[in-house]
Amino acid sequence: MENKKRVLFLCTGNSARCQMAEAFLRRHAGDRFEVHSAGLEPKGINPYTKQVMEEIGYDLSSQYAKGVGVYLGKVHFHHLITVCGDADRNCPTTWPGVTQRIHWPFEDPAAFEGSDGEKLAKFREIRDQIDRKIREWVILTA
């Protein structure tokens, strides 16, 4: 793992967007990056997150919601990527070792209100946006 750059995806609840990003980056470039995620106020992984990821062949059973305290001051990250405005605004401004801080403003699918079908559609939409962004970023950081 010494040659891998560490990446931390950060959002508020660590229940949807960060979990998706963590899984996608691990699959697309896990040979190059050590991938983690955390939340400012972790809530557990949203069941819709698990469902929409399983639909495309991702098993999130080894992932769990973590708070930033698990990492802050204990693990050095090369890349800190916030995936929601709340995390970007409220994230500690100084992270030891971070060489690149990025903000990707994805809509929170967990905040979407509607029927089960509409909620699933929103989670799928955000999932696909995150997958595209991860793939683009992997190419840019090659």
* Residues known to be catalytic: 11, 84, 91
Burial 112-123 (b: 16+ CB within 10 A, else e): beeeeeebbebb
CB 78 within 8 A of CB 97: yes
Phi/psi zone of residue 44: left (φ > 0), alpha (ψ -120 to 50 degrees), beta? left
